């Protein structure tokens, strides 16, 4: 069964290169990752005047966390508030233009061990439980180390949707999030930065289960999955274009 989230010892990282059976816990491990700072500002964004890019995570300290222990069929992802962040929702039709996800310990796209993920877009209820079948999806793929480009998953008129990754085999890859503990002591670059806003979850096939989902968090509070999502929200009730949406949160 899945249990409450705990912190792994850094010594466990030496085992990551060895294929293993899925563990019994989803656990975050701190890790310094210099590459994300360079790459994080470069993924594509934009489109028309109705486009917006949503970034919830904050990398101000230069530290991330890796979550381990996912089983086959487990899901993790981000609930996006299109009504708030992209002038979407009622009276709008929003198209997911593309996404970027950040993975670690992927065998760099090698599928020999079967560690694949697929991606889906779901409507969610008031408790952020996934509703019904996916409204869009991307077939399973062998992720690369660090940034991965994920195609758009279709259109929706819902106020809020979840974009999730599903572990097709379990164990790997490792899910990356920001790190509240290191951000809290990150100095001037992290001034005013708080914990996540509770939009990153795991939907588990055992233990805590699919509904309600398991909030991803560390000892200080919610953390955010390192993912970037690009949208284009067209009004269906007016002809005037909306302005560019501000980013949900700045990232370094």
The helix/strand/coil state of 50 is coil
- In-domain check, residue 3: no
The contacts of residue 219 (CB under 8 Å, 6+ apart) are: 7, 180, 181
The contacts of residue 158 (CB under 8 Å, 6+ apart) are: 82, 89, 123
Which range marks the domain in which residue 196 is found? 23-235
**Eight-state DSSP code of residue 171:** S
Residue-wise pLDDT tens digits, 172-188? 899 999 999 989 887 78
Q: Which pLDDT does position 3 carry in this prediction?
A: 39
- In-domain check, residue 84: yes
pTM for the complete prediction?
0.79
- In-domain check, residue 203: yes
Residue-wise pLDDT tens digits, 139-153? 998 898 889 999 999
- In-domain check, residue 250: no
Residue-wise pLDDT tens digits, 2-24? 433 333 322 223 233 333 333 33
What would the two tokens of residue 147 be? Answer: 């940034």
CB distance 168 to 140 below 8 Å? yes
| Distance of alpha carbon 31 from alpha carbon 62, whole angstroms | 9
The pLDDT of residue 39 is above 90: no
- In-domain check, residue 7: no
- In-domain check, residue 244: no
Question: Structural domain tally of the chain?
Answer: 1
């Amino acid at each position: 069964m899945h249990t409450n989230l705990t912190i792994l010892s850094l010594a466990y990282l030496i085992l990551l290169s060895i294929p293993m059976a899925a563990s019994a816990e989803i656990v975050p491990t701190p890790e310094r990752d210099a590459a994300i700072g360079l790459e994080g500002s470069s993924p594509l964004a934009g489109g028309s005047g109705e486009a917006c890019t949503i970034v919830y995570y904050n990398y101000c300290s230069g530290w991330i966390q890796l979550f381990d222990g996912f089983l086959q069929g487990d899901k993790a992802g981000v609930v996006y508030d299109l009504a708030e962040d992209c002038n979407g929702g009622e009276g709008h039709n929003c198209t997911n233009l593309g996404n970027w996800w950040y993975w670690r310990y992927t065998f760099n796209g090698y599928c020999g061990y079967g560690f694949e993920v697929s991606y889906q877009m779901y409507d969610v209820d008031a408790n952020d439980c996934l509703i019904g079948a996916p409204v869009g999806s991307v077939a399973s793929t062998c992720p690369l180390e660090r940034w991965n480009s994920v195609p758009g998953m279709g259109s929706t008129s819902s106020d809020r949707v979840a974009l999730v990754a599903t572990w097709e085999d379990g164990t790997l890859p490792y899910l990356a999030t920001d790190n509240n503990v290191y951000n809290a002591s990150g100095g001037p670059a992290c001034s005013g930065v708080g914990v996540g806003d509770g939009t990153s979850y795991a939907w588990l096939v055992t233990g805590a289960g699919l509904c309600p989902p398991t909030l991803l968090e560390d000892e200080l509070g919610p953390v955010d999955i390192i993912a970037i999502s690009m949208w284009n929200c067209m009004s269906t009730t007016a002809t005037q274009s909306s302005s560019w949406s501000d980013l949900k949160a700045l990232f370094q």
